[in-house]
């Protein structure tokens, strides 16, 4: 569905994507940007997938325990319904959203809203994760963050899973995942 943009006003929207492996600081960067938006007195709505309850059922929380109030939603379409009369929309853990998340972000940008999205670009096998490749392809700005490999100290871009359980989606923290570089991710130790 195409939404006819309103180019009469001066307000222009865009999509920013923050991506990388686990423990690279994606959520920390999202929170930093959103706090600056609040300081500027812009109207902001922040969302996360309802499935993500690792640190808090409602708030977005980084591994460093920084947090910001958010609204958990079951589907990306709910974001369109809830993001009314805002300047900025923040979305965390975008890889967990349904196939409509890219269209939702584009619709918001066409409405003149700045959309800041954070998510894992690759799963634990190093394969594209969820809708992140689609979001990256339509993004106006991309920030790729890296963690530090827990084995060798080089930059890490893989969220290595230390267990064999689960499918592509397995919520966890340092007990289940650790950042690794390409070479160390191939080692099963």
Catalytic site positions: 93
**What is the 3-class SS of the chain, one letter each residue?**
CCCCCCCCCCCCCEEEEEEECCCCCHHHHHHHHHHHHHHCCCCEEEEEECCCCCCCCCCEECCCCCEECCEEECCHHHHHHHCCCCCEEEECCHHHCCCCHHHHHHHHHHCCCEEEEEEECECCCCCECCCHHHHHHHCCEEEEECEECCCCCCEECEEEECCCCCCCCCCCCCCCEEEECHHHHCCCC
What is the β-pairing status of strands 60-61 and 44-49?
unpaired
């Amino acid at each position: 569905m195409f939404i006819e943009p309103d180019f009469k006003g001066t307000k222009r929207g865009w999509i920013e994507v923050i991506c990388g492996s686990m423990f690279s600081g994606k959520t920390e960067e999202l929170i930093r940007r959103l706090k600056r938006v609040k300081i500027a007195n812009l109207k902001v709505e922040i969302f996360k997938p309802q499935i993500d309850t690792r640190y808090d059922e409602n708030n977005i929380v980084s591994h460093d325990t920084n947090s910001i109030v958010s609204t958990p939603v079951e589907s990306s379409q709910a974001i369109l319904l809830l993001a009314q009369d805002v300047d900025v929309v923040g979305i965390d853990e975008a890889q967990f959203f349904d196939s409509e998340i890219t269209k939702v972000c584009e619709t918001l940008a066409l409405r003149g809203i700045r959309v800041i999205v954070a998510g894992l670009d690759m799963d634990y096998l190093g394969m594209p994760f969820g809708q992140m490749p689609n979001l990256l392809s339509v993004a106006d700005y991309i920030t790729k963050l890296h963690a530090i490999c827990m084995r060798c100290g080089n930059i890490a871009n893989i969220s290595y899973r230390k267990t064999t359980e689960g499918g592509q989606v397995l919520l966890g923290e340092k007990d289940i995942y650790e950042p690794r570089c390409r070479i160390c991710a191939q080692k099963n130790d």
